Amino acid sequence: MASHDGALSGQDSSQAEMMSEMCILVDSSDGKIGSDTKLNCHFGSGILHRAFSVLLFNGEGKMLVQQRSHDKITFPSIWANSCCSHPLDIPGENGDPAEGAINAARRKLSQELGVSEGDISRIDFRHVGSFLYECRWDEDWIEREVDHVLIATTDSIVVDPNPNEISDFKWIEGEEIQEMFSGSGEWQGEVIAPWFRLLWNEFLADHYPNLENIVPVDGVVNFGEVSIGGASVDPGQNLMMAIGKHREHVEGVILQSLSKMKQERLHGAMSHLFAGGGKRLRATLPRLVGEAVGDAHEGHYTLGASIEIIHNFTLVHDDLMDQDPIRRGLEAVHVAYDDSTAINAGDAMLAVAFEILAESPDIEQDKLGFLVRSIGEMVRNVASGQQEDISFESRDSVSEDEYIEMIKGKTSVMFETCAGTGAILAGATQEVVENMRRWGLNLGLCFQLMDDLIDITGDTATLGKPAGSDIVQGKKTLIAIHALNCEQEMPAFSEAYGSGECSDGVLSKAVAELEESGSIEYAKNRAMHHHAVAHSCLDDVADSPALNILRELTDFQLIRIN
């Protein structure tokens, strides 16, 4: 038997304990050839073993999907079918493959989903086929399975998930299922388990919702080696998984930190925007950097929470200054409460952000001064950038250099600070810290310039606001600055720019003129310059899966525009 000493170090104790369970080893035709621990089946190159996947439908025809626990050792935080695990080398599960899979499913429906024995006894299971696939999670962990597909139907069922196994669950049907697999709607940015994609496309897609029409498939369908996304990896998917892995931890720190405010109305105002969701990129970025350049630890969650709270403080005040009514699909704080409360909430958030840094037992005192100074400098630069942006509104002309300096303050400095402080907290050398600060600064510049491009070239559904809104609002982006200094006549752009409102036809012509004049290409080239500089900074970091996540982040906005 292979030995993988230290493989479970730092893992959740309950999950690690289950790694001693004995899985059934099989050949590519699903013939049993022995047994080995769950650990040995999933670590390193792995060993081909038997698995099952349940798709549970209730009396309304809705399918249960689950988000795997953030504490899972393999494929944490991703969304999967109702229940998926392994028949074990025990009586009742190690005989006939279909019967063993069903018996194992009954066991796991109780252990994972908290389904009662009475409810389980009323479930009708159908075995519709099996498939072989291999999918690597990271450099240590892998899935190599012959997966047996079980359709389970029942009139009614009560689900009480085990939080150590499942972070969230939903009952979905019809268009919701299609949105899940396409990554649209509320599923945007979520990662779907590779085995779930494979089995849905192979066994159910052509028959849903008429499940009775499914004809069981003989033999094992062999997909061979696949990526996280099934047939192919969606760009940015590993990044989303990495963010998802840390998001729950840092959000816990955020909510606990805001609870310091005991005044009920003010606490509600401070917490308001966090209910609107968000990727928590800034909150998780210090941890992602720490993992790539040094020793990441719990202090990175406190640091990320501090910066995220400050980021949201700036949004509260920005919305008030701009009198924007909506933020993240919610009423802005000044609308949900009032102007005075919004100001007070922002001030209190800023105070809490520094307070939690000073109190953290996971942040060494010799690093605290650097963190406080860096974050204080960040807040000052954000305020300066915001004030410059306000001044641009009343000015007839703004230079390219002035615009770049403004977005350094409003956007880039926060990325720069996340990267630099994340590195110093991980114990990196000053040289590495400065390199990561440079990476963060150029990443932020690329992000903002790409955002300007996406506003012009994107579609309304993707943006969540009208496409081309920067034009009609007369914002002095790099695209507009180039166009305003262009000698080429641009009548549609002149009509639309700063108009406050114009027809779709005029706006479409204005965008075409920006293309023809080279203004869009000019801004894109500037963005690509900062993108290249950011990647060159990462060239000086040792290769690792954590570094690959930072490279995906560097490419993130390019994914949206290409």
- State yes or no: pLDDT of 99 exceeds 90: yes
What's the pLDDT at 6?
53
Rounded to 5 degrees, φ, ψ at 78 are -85, 160
Q: pLDDT confidence of 1, banded at 50, 70, 90?
A: very low
Residue-wise pLDDT for 421-434, tens only, equals 999 999 999 999 99
pLDDT at 7: 56
Mean pLDDT for the chain overall: 89
Please give the angle made by the CA atoms of 305, 310 and 315, to the nearest 5 degrees. 125
* CA–CA dist 279, 534 (Å, integer): 21
pLDDT at 461 over 50: no
pLDDT digits (tens, 9 = 90+) for 176-233: 998 998 888 888 878 899 899 999 989 998 888 888 889 898 899 988 778 775 544 4
**Distance, CA of 400 to CA of 246 (rounded, Å):** 37
Instruction: Determine if the peptide bond prior to 194 is cis (ω within 30°).
Output: no
Per-residue pLDDT, 140: 77
Host H or E run for residue 431: helix 430-457
| pLDDT one-digit tens code per residue, 387-412 | 999 999 888 899 999 999 999 998 99
Q: What would the pLDDT profile of 101-142 be if each residue is shown by its tens digit? A: 999 999 999 999 999 999 999 999 999 999 998 888 877 788
Separation between Cα atoms, residue 237 and residue 253, nearest integer Å: 25
Look at residue 62 in the predicted model and tell me its pLDDT.
93
How far apart CA 191 and CA 183 sit, in angstroms, is 8
Q: Please give the pLDDT value at position 416.
A: 98
Q: How confident is the model at residue 558 (pLDDT cuts 50, 70, 90)?
A: low
Query: Which distant-in-sequence residues (6+ apart) come within 8 Å of 146 by Cβ?
Result: 26, 28, 30, 48, 49, 50, 51, 130, 131, 132, 220
Residue 460 — pLDDT band, cuts 50, 70, 90? very low
Name the percent of the chain lying above pLDDT 90. Answer: 62
CA–CA dist 106, 117 (Å, integer)? 9
Count the Cβ atoms, other than its own, within 10 Å of residue 555.
18
Average pLDDT rounded to a whole number, residues 140-145: 86
- The whole-angstrom separation of Cα 409 and Cα 317 is 16
Q: Give dist(CA 141, CA 90) in Å, integer.
A: 24
Q: Is the pLDDT of residue 4 over 70?
A: no
Task: Give the pair of three-digit tokens for residue 344.
Answer: 């007070």
| pTM, entire model | 0.62
Could you give the count of Cα atoms lying within 13 Å of 284 in the half-sphere of its Cβ?
A: 22
d(CA 527, CA 469): 20
Residue type, 561: I
Question: What pLDDT shows up at residue 233?
Answer: 43
Q: What integer is the mean pLDDT of 260-277?
A: 91
Predicted pLDDT of residue 45:
74
Tell me the β-bridge partners of 476. Answer: none
* pLDDT value, residue 457: 75
Domains of the chain, each with CATH number or no CATH: 21-226 (3.90.79.10), 237-460+468-561 (1.10.600.10)
Q: What is the per-residue pLDDT for 465?
A: 45
Rounded to 5°, angle at Cα 469 from 466 and 473: 145
Q: Is the pLDDT of residue 462 over 70?
A: no
**Residue 490 and residue 512: Cα distance in Å, rounded?**
10
The one-character DSSP state at 43 is: B
Pick the residue with more confidence: 7 or 81? 81
pLDDT digits (tens, 9 = 90+) for 476-511: 999 999 999 998 999 999 999 999 888 888 988 999
Per-residue pLDDT band at 2 (split at 50, 70, 90): very low
CB 526 within 8 A of CB 533: no
Per-residue pLDDT tens digits for 12-68: 676 677 788 999 999 888 999 999 999 989 887 788 999 999 999 998 999 999 999
Cβ(100)–Cβ(88) below 8 Å = no
pLDDT tens digits, one per residue of 226-247: 877 554 444 566 677 788 778 8
Q: With 70 as the cut, is the pLDDT of residue 459 above it?
A: no
What's the confidence (pLDDT) of residue 426? 97
Categorise residue 218: left if φ over 0, alpha if ψ from -120 to 50, beta otherwise: beta
DSSP string, 279-347: --HHHHHHHHHHHHHS---THHHHHHHHHHHHHHHHHHHHHHHHT--EETTEE-HHHHS-HHHHHHHHH
